Amino acid sequence: MNQWIGEKKHTLLMNFGPPDKVSEDGNGGEILVYIKYYSAPFAANTITLTNSQQLKMYFINTDGIVYHFLVKYQDIAPTQVDLNVIRNP
């Protein structure tokens, strides 16, 4: 169980700042979403980065209290730079 469940939205905002996204929870409350991006090297002879993001979602009820917490990870399409085509001027 997450330590933020039962805490006030104000306290969450004071600790993490404004969320990256805000959505409705379908019950009159909201979902505050904080996104963290990760990149890691993948292959030789190219600069290929595997990218992913972590989404921390805090569900806030109509009283401004955190009632649920969820973390999701998503892969993002790789970014690649072919070093063989980069030439010095």
Give the domain ranges of the chain: 9-78
What per-residue confidence (pLDDT) applies to 37? Answer: 84
What per-residue confidence (pLDDT) applies to 52? Answer: 81
Q: pLDDT for 42-89, tens place per residue?
A: 555 556 666 788 899 999 999 999 999 999 988 776 655 555 555 554
Please give the angle made by the CA atoms of 70, 75 and 81, to the nearest 5 degrees: 150
Please check the confidence at residue 20 and state whether its pLDDT lies above 60. Answer: yes
Please check the confidence at residue 4 and state whether its pLDDT lies above 60. Answer: yes
- Cα–Cα dist 40/24, whole Å: 33
Q: How far is CA 24 from CA 20, 29, 43, in A?
A: 14, 6, 40
- Cα–Cα dist 64/83, whole Å: 51
